[in-house]
């Protein structure tokens, strides 16, 4: 009687597990890189927003400096003519091709602006402003019939000066406020640019 011979087959390792493990490691490495980049991008965006907000808040210095120069002179003939050294212009940019005519401060020629001296508190922001009287023609008083200005009556509807029985509809001189536009530009770190515009009268 013959005995069946036992056959032992040795199988070599095919390396599938190692291959899968390498793929998993590569995927994990890519996911880690993506997370680092995403968090870095978020920090960059937050930093840029902080620069932008800082520049915008610094713009108050420009508006205040413009008001400090303009306020003592309002309603006086001193504002009938341009004062380029102070960033003041007695018209709204009525010359053909003048970028001020658009009213968009990002298009203005800021070389004609008044730069506000830095007192060391602006974190590297450079502040400048332009004041415009909203009238068509420079060098002419707003009361002149040849002048055209943006005007509004005082609060409460009174548009005449003086007193009489039918005030304010039929006596006194016209009493309107001429409007002025103050545009402020703030140049900050990392090429940050912010603009602020206010209307005053």
Q: What is the DSSP letter of 121?
A: -
Whether the per-residue pLDDT at 94 is higher than 60: the answer is: yes
Pick the closest to residue 113 from 57, 195, 185, 189 (CA basis): 185
Q: Which residue has the higher pLDDT, 137 or 175?
A: 137
Q: How far is CA 186 from CA 47, 48, 56, 92, 189, in A?
A: 17, 15, 7, 21, 10
Cis peptide before 168 (omega within 30 of 0): yes
Task: Please enumerate in sequence order all residues whose Cβ is within 8 A of that of 201, keeping only pairs 6 or more positions apart, or say none.
Answer: 152, 177, 178, 179, 180
Q: How far is CA 161 from CA 171, 172, 191, in A?
A: 8, 5, 50
> How do residues 133-164 score in pLDDT, each as one tens digit?
999 999 999 989 999 999 887 765 555 555 55
pLDDT at 14: 60
User: Where in the chain does DSSP place strands (E)?
Assistant: 88-89, 114-115, 126-133, 151-152, 177-178, 180-188, 192-200
Q: Which residue has the higher pLDDT, 138 or 44?
A: 138
Give the mean model confidence (pLDDT) for residues 106-132: 87
**Domain assignments of the chain as residue spans, ordered by start:** 58-200
Whether the per-residue pLDDT at 115 is higher than 60: the answer is: yes
CB 148 within 8 A of CB 134: no
């Amino acid at each position: 009687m013959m005995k069946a011979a036992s056959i032992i087959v040795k199988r070599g390792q095919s390396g599938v597990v190692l291959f899968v493990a390498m793929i998993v490691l590569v995927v994990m490495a890519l996911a880690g890189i993506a997370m680092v980049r995403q968090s870095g991008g978020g920090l960059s965006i937050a930093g840029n927003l902080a620069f932008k907000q800082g520049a915008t808040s610094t713009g108050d210095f420009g508006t205040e400096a413009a008001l400090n120069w303009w306020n003592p002179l309002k309603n006086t003939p001193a504002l009938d003519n341009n004062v380029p050294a102070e960033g003041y212009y007695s018209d709204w940019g009525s010359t053909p091709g003048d970028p001020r005519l658009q009213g968009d401060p990002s298009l203005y020629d800021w070389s004609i602006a008044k730069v506000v001296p830095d007192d060391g508190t602006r974190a590297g922001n450079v502040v400048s402003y332009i004041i415009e009287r909203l009238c068509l023609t420079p060098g002419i008083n707003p009361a002149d019939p040849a002048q055209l200005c943006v005007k509004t009556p005082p609060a409460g509807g009174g548009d005449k000066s003086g007193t009489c029985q039918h005030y304010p509809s039929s006596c006194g001189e016209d009493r309107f406020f001429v409007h002025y536009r103050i545009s402020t530009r703030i140049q900050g770190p990392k090429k940050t640019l912010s603009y602020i515009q206010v209307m005053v009268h």
